Structures are given as C-alpha cells and as structure tokens.
Amino acid sequence: MSENIKNISDTASDVPFIKVENLSYSYENDGVPSEPALRDISLEIREGEYVAVLGHNGSGKSTFAKLLNMILTTDKGKIIIDGTEITSSSMTDDDMFEVRRKVGMVFQNPDNQLVATIVEEDVAFGPENLGLPRDEIRKRVYSSLDMVGMRDYSKHAPHKLSGGQKQRVAIAGIIAMRPRCIIFDESTAMLDPLGRKEVMSIIKRLNRDEGITVIQITHYMEEAAMADRVIIINDGTIAADSTPRDIFSRVDFLKSVGLEAPQGTELIWELRKDGFDLPDNCVTDEECIAALSELFEKTLKGKKDEQA
C-alpha cells in the first residue's frame, strides 16, 4: 500500500465531529429561490478525518463549505458541529464566532484573505479577536508561522510574498485560532506547482501530526488521492462517498459526473479497454508505473522467448 493511502482508522476517532442531515440550500434571486444548490445531503465526518470533496463547477461544493462555516445558514436540514446544532435560529453572535473558530476556512484567492500590512499582524488578527492575553497571542503567532515555515517572514509585507507564501500565511492565521477542523476551498487552485506542493504538505501535516480534521475541496485528482475519503458532489447531491482507491478506479463513473481519473489511472483504463492485462485498482503514480513496468517486462520476456 502506498504511504499516501493510509488506513482511515489511523487517526480518525469514531465520534462524528460534523453531522449533516437532510441539508438543502437554495440561493435567492430578487427574493425568488433559484434551483437548489444542495439537495437533501446527509453525511458524517469524524474528528481527525481527511476528506477530499470533488465535483464539477457549480455542483455545490462551496455552498456546502459555507454552510459548515456559517457564512450561509438555512433552516432546511440540520448541521451539528461538535454536538451543537448550528442551523437553529437561536444562535447568538458568540455561538457563531465559536463555530468559525472551530471550523476554519481557507479560500481560493490568497489576496482576499490577508488583512494586515505585516505578516505577524495578519496572523495575530484572529487570536486578538478571541481576546487572548498578549503573551499567548505572540506564542500562537510564532508557533503558527513555524508550522507553515514562514517564521522568517514575520516582519515582511504580505503583498510582496508569492501566492504559495501568502496562502501559508493565511493558513497560519487560521491555525492560530486552534481550530479542530479546516476547510480548504480550492486553496491550491491559484498557486504555481511549487506553491501547491508546499500547501499540500502543510495540509497533510496538519491532519497527521496535529489531528486537525481536514475537508479539502479540490479539482486536482492527485490531491484528492492523499485523502482518507473522497466525497463527490454532483448537482447538489452526494454522488459517491468512498476511499480514493475505490472512487478513482471507477473511471466510467467519474466521466459520468464530469470528472477525470488521475492521469495514470486513466491511461491504464484505456489500455485495459484495448485488452492489455493490467490491474484495475492503480491510483497513485507509483502504482501505475509499477503496473506498466511489469507489463512491459512480461511483454519483453514473451518476445525473447518467441525468438529463442
């Protein structure tokens, strides 16, 4: 088994941290509700899980994320976070703030998330709002910057950083609030390959080493392959909810919901259609390369035996 595919039971607990029941949501256009963006979604996410959410554009992924973070609210269905129902109208501003502290969100565009003119002030913004003592704020700012490898930039101006560095500062700002869960809504989409790699390695570390529940919305299949679990949202409903291995080996199904399998899996799937003897469960690049090398060697040996 590749080290990227870990057993779900490694870090996740059995207690659902997020429980969603029959959740629906419609945006309104001049007071008129439009076609539902989410229809009757039910699921549970356990503390410590790493969940990737996939779906073609407009399928409802961001709407789902915003409901979990209370950027949007609805009375159609239930959302229970850490035992507290958040769809009830009885919530105070303090309750809402507490939900956002527990479930942090990192967005797509790093430029829209940084508010201060100096990196360390930006990271301090959240903890300051929590009303923490100065010493504690300092401690949190530096430990969060350490965690994302940006401590050396603490006195820098955020606007002079690269996209990946900005996104790492945005993540530090969320970590400084000590969240139990972080939702990344296409947080790597605007980054160059290096920036993406850096942010992905931080996301993995936050889940594995800090036990933070991760919900990562992405359109990069290689990123989703890192998760314990993949949820596919298609036209506002859950079309699949399984392990990356199971989902990525269903190439026909992926195509039917407007998605593509990882490149290697797709290549093997095409070759299998042409009658080549290859396994149907290769997901990571390493597995695909191993399967193709084996086939190549077998074919070569066959040719040699023929000639002999």
Q: Which residues bind ligand ADP (CB under 6 A)?
A: 27, 34, 37, 55, 57-63
Interface with Mg ion by CB under 5 A: which range of 62-70, 159-167, 202-210, 286-294? 62-70
Other CB atoms within 10 A of residue 188 CB: 25
199 versus 268: smaller Cβ distance to Mg ion:
199
User: At closest approach, how far in Å is the CB of 264 from ligand ADP?
Assistant: 25
Element (H, E) at 299: helix 285-307
Picking from 145, 166, 156, the residue whose alpha carbon sits closest to that of residue 118 is: 156
Spatial strand order in the sheet of 103-106: 103-106, 181-185, 213-217, 50-54, 229-234, 237-242
Identify the residue among 62, 165, 167, 187 touching Mg ion (CB under 5 A): 62
Please choose which of ligand ADP, Mg ion, none residue 59 contacts, taking the beta carbon within 5 to 8 angstroms, the exact cut-off set by kind. ligand ADP
User: At closest approach, how far in Å is the CB of 9 from ligand ADP?
Assistant: 29
* In 130-248, beta strands by DSSP E: 181-185, 213-217, 229-234, 237-242
154 touching Mg ion, by CB under 5 A: no
Picking from 20, 167, 181, the residue whose alpha carbon sits closest to that of residue 104 is: 181
User: At closest approach, how far in Å is the CB of 289 from ligand ADP?
Assistant: 32
User: At closest approach, how far in Å is the CB of 50 from Mg ion?
Assistant: 19
DSSP secondary structure string for all residues of 154-169: TTS-GGGS-HHHHHHH
Please choose which of Mg ion, ligand ADP, none residue 213 contacts, taking the beta carbon within 5 to 8 angstroms, the exact cut-off set by kind. none
User: At closest approach, how far in Å is the CB of 109 from Mg ion?
Assistant: 12
Positions touching Mg ion (CB under 5 A) are 61-62
